[in-house]
Structure 1
């Protein structure tokens, strides 16, 4: 039986009702460990409530001056050393921002979750001086701000209890008080701010916004006894309170749910880069939109204009408070379902097993190899995932693998293929997850469908993807190829292969061309070419021929005479409107040919789900070309590591004489050059206009079957 010691921040109790996100996650994870059959130990301050065995240290009363903090940290150090030695601990999981001051002396593996911005930790935290000590972040934005670090493991995003937080906030458990003060809720509605009361959370900004908007605001949370927090409350918060703007103190869990579900919006005016935001996830789960500054991970959680608003200043926050009621609770709830607490806990439990077994994962997030045992080097396991729930649970590892696969395109991202499964899959998933030493190193996104009684194995994304392929981590290509070939030779559950849009460098082509390929009955046919422009010059003028550059210059001059040229990019919140216009213009272009890929309502539904998420991740740009104030064209472009890929266009035929296509492509090329991309890919098809821009056939795609 695995023994895990969770070490909480010494100055805040660990309970399900805790104010701080670190304490909430520590509570949830140790509870999950206990219920999974682990021996759960918790070191926390007095007043904590745990599922496992609790070791308490006295809670500090009065101001948390540095001398008292140092005293408690010394007690923690002694307690940890005693517990690790006496209880035979397998893994220590630390949650406090000051964890480096009380690391155990014993060589037990340590996992430290960085709940706060990396800048708040001293440099020695990232130096990796203590053996078997590893870190994890809780969001991509937090990881990007970390210094290079060989001990940084995979992210474990925070999650919320979707069964407890839901839109039916009136179903309150009568045993849980709404708050310590329990004032009546405003009858005319209210905005809410919930969390620690301290300068970095921007509580004063929320109060100022409510005053300007003439709105009721409830401020719920705790004032920790740090001198600067107490001064902030007395000097900045108390003077701003009145009959409409109230401070109601800390709230219990079910009281929090009631407040969130009843609010018109949640305000999150954080002044620092948030590493995550549990209260934002909780609000969305309750169907409540969130208005926030776009700091840290908040843009990863909030879809601007759909589940809330990302604002830059106080006037924009006031304006957004008036617009919040127009947003749909169902959209908020659906967005929250990406952040399930059960997924968070299962990832931590998997990390505990790996650390206890091997001492470290195969590779750190920043690519520096950690020591590997011989068992790790040779342990390759292939798992077949046949349920959508399994694919969604794999999403974080899938994203990480995509980032480590050097030839990956947007068409292999989970943000592309999971919506494809939802809207376009006509068959059953058969996704191969290939692991070495427990780490995901390969992914083959297959599915099986029926054709005339034969079960056919194809690649996900069929019909709308220009490249379909297997993902293989850098340095693990041979491992993935061997595992994939062995699985194909076994051929269980399908009768034949039919793979299309397979690019020239694919592992699947290597397997099909191998000496034993006839045993798999694989035939290769060339399917299409993908023209593109190799971007070697530093300006658009130097990239294009003199004739094409003159065409661009003339189109820009015509636009200027017409009233000016504006090229505006869609945001996640405006994506749906822009995409609708793209579909209309694309349809106009193809109407006489009876085609157009965006005519199918299922494909439009797919793009409406995948597009905003890809846009948020910087993988998509949807640009509108306005000439003289009139929208004349729309361009849909993907961005990979080193390439821009033009996926779809739509232009107003009535304004064709103004050259909206020329202006759109010129803008996209300039953006690719400025972004350091080395390729502008026109994707499938040998249409003459592509070669008019100087494109050459840079890739070929194949059918295998």
Structure 2
């Protein structure tokens, strides 16, 4: 396709790329870097401490969520975000872009509607409509913007908002060098990995129970939310440095090393996670995943090929998976199956993980899919 002039909107909370926590910002980074590499004229509107190779515009010199600590009150944050969006739209009114791509959800749609942009305004929905931090209150408002194209991150994500104008489904793409596939060794001490956030939503309590019941080591590399200390205190009661080892939040390279050296990733999520990055990184490392059948996980993990998917309960049957046992017992059965594999069977599964990562979840694949979306929306504009 011919090179396009593309404006990409990220938020003011976390710089691009994030130093640690920040899944959306990592995807934005992967996207703008990939588009820039492919010859497009990309301008990212983020924060001044972002580090990208494309053009960068910003209002705030530094991320507002500095070092994982919010530096603003709630009211100040609302004002700062509105100011951030206002300056972004001032930029795109002054310059001639072919496409505007927002990763910031609801509020920029109001600005787009008032400005009456003559070019496509796309929104990738990075959030889940379910979970402790979410409800469905924004759906009726989103339905007012049906004329604008939305991009889902998984087919499951669409089920909660079926009336939205979904122009495409584009899975997240992560960057994992092939060198990580060589990190695993049968000679090293075997362990399972849990990476992400200390929260019931992410399945941390099922994961630590599996570790203790099977007497197998689980390394937990995860952040915790200061607003949900009850979750963290409950988790600490399982940490014994024998079966459950807690490392806290780690950097990108250490995270990939932990996943790559693990026997498996144990991620029994308990909510409709839209398109989590850790299972994709695990695929890239060649590490199988054991998970519950929530959210995008059944779209990411091929049951029996790149890990195992388990139904969480009899009231929540999501598919006819390899193991029919439910809940914790199903997780136990799936984990034991991987530990019981012959070396040939296990290495075949690891190779399949990397293969599916390269086919569906690499940065190059994601960027190509977004280029196709841009091209189609420009064609639709001319009709």
For Structure 1 versus Structure 2, the TM-score category normalised by the shorter chain is 0.7 to 0.9
| Superposition deviation, residue 191 in structure 1 | 0.9
1:76 to 58, 62, 84: 84
Shift of 1:116: 2.5
- CA shift, 1:330, in A, is 2.0
CA contact (8 A) 1:16 1:253 kept: no
Structure-1 residue corresponding to 2:374: 352
Taking structure 2 as the reference length, the TM-score comes to 0.78
The within-5 A match list for 1:38-117 is: 38-45=40-47, 47-56=49-58, 57=60, 58-61=63-66, 62-63=69-70, 66-100=74-108, 103-104=111-112, 105-108=114-117, 109-117=120-128
- Greater Rg by CA: 1
- TM-score after normalising by structure 1: 0.44
Relative to total residues, which structure has the larger strand share, 1 or 2? 1
Within 5 A, what are the aligned runs for 1:259-298? 259-298=258-297
Matches within 5 A, 1:223-238: 223=224, 227-228=227-228, 231-238=229-236
Flag the 1:232–1:136 CA change in 2: closer, same or farther, 3 A: farther
**Counterparts of 1:165 and 1:331, CA distance in 2:** 16
Partners of 1:65 and 1:293 lie apart in 2 by 37
CA offset at residue 32 of structure 1?
1.4
Give the match for residue 189 of structure 2.
Answer: 188
2:178·2:285 contact (CA, 8 Å) conserved in 1? no
Question: 2:290·2:309 contact (CA, 8 Å) conserved in 1?
Answer: yes
Residues 377-526 of structure 1 mapped to structure 2, 5 A cutoff: none
CA deviation profile, 1:293-323 (whole Å, cap 9, x unmatched): 1112211222323321222222322332222
CA distance, structure 2, for counterparts of residue 281 and residue 259 of structure 1 = 14
1:559 is aligned to: none
| SS of equivalent residue, structure 2 residue 174 | coil
Structure 2 CA distance for partners of 1:200 and 1:54, relative to 1, 3 Å: farther
Q: Which residue of 1 aligns with 2:351?
A: 330
Question: Residues 51, 67 of structure 1: CA spacing in aligned structure 2 closer, same or farther, 3 A cutoff?
Answer: same
The change in CA–CA distance for 1:342 and 1:74 in structure 2 (over 3 A counts) is same
Give the one of 136, 153, 159 matched to 1:144.
Answer: 159
Residues 164-313 of structure 1: pairs in structure 2 closer than 5 A: 164=178, 166-169=180-183, 188-223=189-224, 227-228=227-228, 231-244=229-242, 245-311=244-310, 312=312, 313=327
Tell me if the contact between 2:291 and 2:309 (Cα under 8 Å) persists in the aligned partners. yes
Structure 1 unaligned regions, length at least 5: 172-185, 362-371, 377-705
Which one of the candidate residues 175, 179, 194 is aligned to 1:161? 175
Contact 1:19 1:221 in 2 (8 A): no
CA pair 262-36 structure 1, distance change in 2 beyond 3 A: same
- Give the Cα–Cα distance (whole angstroms) in 1 for the partners of residues 224 and 285 of structure 2: 25
Paired residues of 1:10 and 1:96 also in contact (CA < 8 A)? no
Deviation of the 1:36 alpha carbon: 2.1
Q: Secondary structure at the match of 1:11?
A: coil
1: CA distance between counterparts of 2:212 and 2:50? Answer: 37
CA distance in 2, matches of 1:128, 1:160: 32
Any idea what SS the aligned residue of 2:223 has? coil
User: What's the CA shift string for 1:533-554, capped at 9, x where partnerless?
Assistant: xxxxxxxxxxxxxxxxxxxxxx
Give the superposition deviation at 1:165: 6.6
Distance 1:68 1:237, change over 3 A: farther
**Partner SS for 2:183:** coil
- 1:73 deviation in Å? 1.9
State the Cα distance separating 1:140 from its structure 2 match: 1.8
Aligned CA RMSD, in angstroms, stands at 3.0
How many correspondences in the alignment? 342
Q: 1:169 to 1:316 in 2, by over 3 A?
A: same
Question: What is residue 316 of structure 1 aligned with on the other side?
Answer: 330
Distance of aligned partners of 1:38 and 1:139 in 2 relative to their CA distance in 1, 3 Å threshold = same
SS of equivalent to 1:41: strand
| Counterpart for residue 322 of structure 2 | none
Closer, same or farther: CA 206–158 of 1 in aligned 2, 3 Å: same
SS at 2:24 equivalent:
helix
1:17/1:24 contact within 8 Å kept: no
Is the CA contact (8 Å cut-off) linking 2:17 and 2:26 kept in structure 1? yes
Determine if contact 1:169/1:260 at 8 Å carries over to the other structure. Answer: no
SS of equivalent residue, structure 1 residue 136: strand
Cα deviation code 1:79-117 (max 9, x no counterpart): 212222333333221223455577444333321111222
- Cα separation, partners in 2 of 1:2 and 1:265, compared to 1, 3 Å: same
Distance 2:106 2:191 in 1: 37
| DSSP 3-state at the match of 2:302 | coil
How far does the alpha carbon of each residue in 1:588-629 deviate from its partner, in whole angstroms, 9 at most, with x for none?
Answer: xxxxxxxxxxxxxxxxxxxxxxxxxxxxxxxxxxxxxxxxxx
Contact residue 30 and residue 174 of structure 2 kept, 8 A? no
**Structure of greater relative contact order (alpha carbons < 8 Å, 6+ residues apart):** 2
Corresponding residue for 2:364? 342
Note the C-alpha offset of 1:40.
1.6
Whether the aligned pair in 1 keeps the contact of 2:30 and 2:173 (CA below 8 Å) is no
Distance 1:336 1:125, change over 3 A: farther
Per-residue deviation, 1:135 = 0.3
**Residues 184 and 262 of structure 2 are in contact (CA less than 8 Å); yes or no, is this contact kept in structure 1?**
no
1:162: Cα distance to partner? 5.4
> 1:54 aligns to what SS in structure 2?
strand
1:343 aligned counterpart, secondary structure: helix
Superposed displacement of residue 118, structure 1: 4.0
